[in-house]
Chains A and B, each alone.
Chain A
Amino acid sequence: MPQALEGSQAIARAVALCRPQVVSAYPITPQTHIVENIAKLVADGQLECEYVSVESEHSAASVVLGAAAAGSRAYTASASQGILLMSEVLYDISGLRVPMVLTCANRALSGPISIWNDQSDSMAVRDAGWIQLYCTSNQEAVDTHIQAFRIAQETELPVMVCMDGFTLTHTMEPLDLPTQEEVDAFLPPFRFDRMLDPQAPVSIGTMVGPEAYSELRYANHHDLLGAADNILRANADWAEASGRDWGGLLRTSGPAEARIGLLGLGSLIGTLQDAALAHPELPPTRIMALRAFRPFPIEALQAACEGLDELVVIERAFSPGFGAIVAAEVRAALSELPQAPRVHAVAVGLGGRDIGLSLYPRLIEVAHGEHAERFRILDLDPERLPQELRA
């Protein structure tokens, strides 16, 4: 029975249903409502956990690392500058193979300062060794958080659940929250085999010399690639329990005869879907929601692009001095195919600029361009550019 909930509120409840024993966070817009809601659940006795209000994001990530290593299910949330500040710890957590879940309420990075939504924060730490899952809606975010706790402890890899700040976190919509029984049936009690215990002492985080480092890093890479199976299974099992299937690694919609693909991550997918319906006069499109960015689903992407002539990748971040981030990886994945679509890369909605239905016809235009679009920020306003940049 769906109830009207603000995204952040629903996430807080979903996390609480997963019975974390330690939650630690430092406030940063637009994650604040999530951690405030969790604090309220604790204060009202609805969630029994140790809630540690730390003095910085670096410490938030460190607290959950210490807690998980000591054998407790742990959770934190952050965004933007907080993700950057804790990035050192994020690399350490995955390197040490300690499981936990973190919500990234996607927000642009300073400088200049922006509190609004884009995905430059989670993209900045794409190499931190975490599983990264992107949610297109608040319902998907609720379900994905629950799946994330299971994926993390199965793989002994930390999971970052990405959801667009404000667009999802601060939106109220009808949402279905599972019951405690449903979550308990899906998520086994937390277990970490290397748990710190005086009865069986181990040392975690020792120095590793050149003679052993490569092998340890390869093992992590191998296991992160293998996490694709855990992601698929968690999605399938939860789909059976809840009736909601989010596609596992990648989800496509649109008619089979479509020759143009539109690929994106996060909340813009919903707007693209309604835009396609609003433009029956334009050629049909295959809309692809990339759910798992790490591990990058190379095979699934290759299969999903079957039959496409054009693929427009719509980025919510970019790499200054080069251009595309997601499209660069998409191009690499598709280059293995004998018959691959032309890949176009555009970025939109940087720093929270609204992504309207009017974007859709422009994406079709890009797809029909004479040359493959290497990279372009599609929604630049020429009036706001200095004269010399108005090409």
Chain B
Amino acid sequence: MTAETISLAELRKHQPRFTGLSPGHRACQGCGELLAARLVTEAAGPDVVVANSTGCLEVTTTSWPDSAWRVPWLHSLFENGAAIASGMEAALKAQGRASKVLAFAGDGGTFDIGFQALSGMIERGHNVLFVCYDNEAYMNTGVQRSGSTPVGAATTTSPAGKERLGKRHLKKDILSIIAAHHMPYAATATVAYPADLRHKVRRAIEVEGPTFLLVHSPCPQGWGHDGSRTVEVARLGVQSGLVPLIELERGAVTGVMPIRELRPVADYLKAQARFRHLFADTAEAARELQHLQALAEHNIERYGLSAPGPEPRDTEGADTVRRGGQHWA
């Protein structure tokens, strides 16, 4: 066999994508979380061990005796994903094995019931990438509110009605809490910008120590939009400022995705039935809309999100389809 030199671009054109999560699972059409998980496992590669907390992701991908996972994977309970991952990491370290441990959890398993274990894992410095698939409610059990549910959103336990306008409390400021843990690297991402997400996954995996990635993942069922609009809704969230895409190193903001084409929050909220009541013709509804607009503007100011220039549309998805689907560019 003779040696052949090939350019990186050429190599990537022929290189197959790694499939960590295969098709054939039972998630809803247009599920943002499953899309995010596919992107994350693709970017992470095969040399990983996954701890998956209870939620839509594990329920829809495993039904004994079938499993959609092509990486070693363990699901234990709801609140202990970070602790399971800590144990896996300790074992691999003791055995001298280099595989990377990933923890996957929904917002419930991150912000609420899973928070204690996550905080402990970071404090102890385990070499684990914790990925939160944030669809902003307890979706698998029927769309109940979580600490991550945005203020004003309707869920089954924070419904809108004569006396209420959806969830009364603010979305827990998980970014500040994460920043306060001073971990080496943390970032937020979204399914609307898959190249950015993959880049952040690869960045996090390279870090020796605890890292955190929050992936904003629309839920067509829970948010009330068509499955075909998942990516569009996610993009609107970013463009409104309500979903800041930032990177944190040891608690300091070191990178942001600027919003080139700023949209009013109403454009984002209008696309989802869970915010429908905010468009009623009442003073209270108008006030709550203003509140959400103010929250978005606060994010923009706080993280320095506004910047001029053209919208860097992520065309990698479309390019891939044009090329035939299974290879990198």
Contacts and interface: CB of A to CB of B under 8 A. Distances in A.
Interface in A50-86: 50, 52-56, 58-60, 62-72, 74
A21 interface: yes
B88 interface: yes
A66 B75 contact: no
B247 interface: no
Interface in A292-340: none
Nearest to B90: A50
Contacts of B124: 52-54
Interface string B46-65: 11110110000011001111
B20 to A, nearest CB: 9
A375 B62 CA distance: 47
B87 A64 contact: yes
Given A52-B87, A66-B88, A212 B64 contact: yes
A206 B71 contact: no
Contacts of A22: 87, 90-91, 94
Contact of B74 (A74, A204, A208): A204
A209 B67 CA distance: 13
A243 interface: no
B88 A198 contact: no
A256 interface: no
Contact of A203 (B67, B87, B117, B119): B67
Interface in B34-85: 46-49, 51-52, 58-59, 62-67, 69-77, 79-80, 82-85
Given A62-B77, A69-B74, A89-B77, A203 B94 contact: no
B79 A58 contact: yes
B120 A59 contact: yes
Contacts of A67: 87-88, 90-91, 94
A65 B200 CA distance: 29
A59 B84 CA distance: 8
Contacts of B69: 201, 203
Nearest to B70: A201
Interface string B109-143: 00000001101100110000000000000000000
Contacts of A54: 83, 86, 120, 124
Interface residues of B, number: 46
A209 B62 CA distance: 11
A53 B86 CA distance: 11
B117 A55 contact: yes
Contacts of A185: none
B14 interface: no
Interface in A178-206: 196-198, 200-206
A19 to B, nearest CB: 10
A388 to B, nearest CB: 43
Interface in A139-197: 196-197
Contacts of A88: 77
Contact of A70 (B67, B91, B120): B91
A62 B119 CA distance: 15
A59 B94 contact: no
A201 B72 contact: yes
B29 interface: no
B67 A92 contact: no
A48 B94 CA distance: 8
Given A55-B123, A203-B73, A63 B64 contact: no
A365 to B, nearest CB: 48
Contacts of A208: 63-64
A219 interface: no
B74 A205 contact: yes
A66 B51 contact: yes
A331 B59 CA distance: 42
B95 interface: yes
Closest 4 CB pairs of A and B: A66-B87, A206-B62, A62-B83, A55-B120
Interface of B: 46-49, 51-52, 58-59, 62-67, 69-77, 79-80, 82-95, 99, 116-117, 119-120, 123-124
23 contacts: A21-B91, A50-B93, A59-B83, A60-B83, A63-B86, A66-B91, A67-B87, A67-B94, A68-B87, A69-B84, A70-B88, A89-B76, A197-B72, A198-B49, A198-B71, A201-B69, A201-B70, A203-B75, A204-B74, A204-B75, A206-B63, A206-B75, A208-B64
Interface of A: 21-22, 24, 48-50, 52-56, 58-60, 62-72, 74, 88-89, 92, 96, 196-198, 200-209, 212, 216
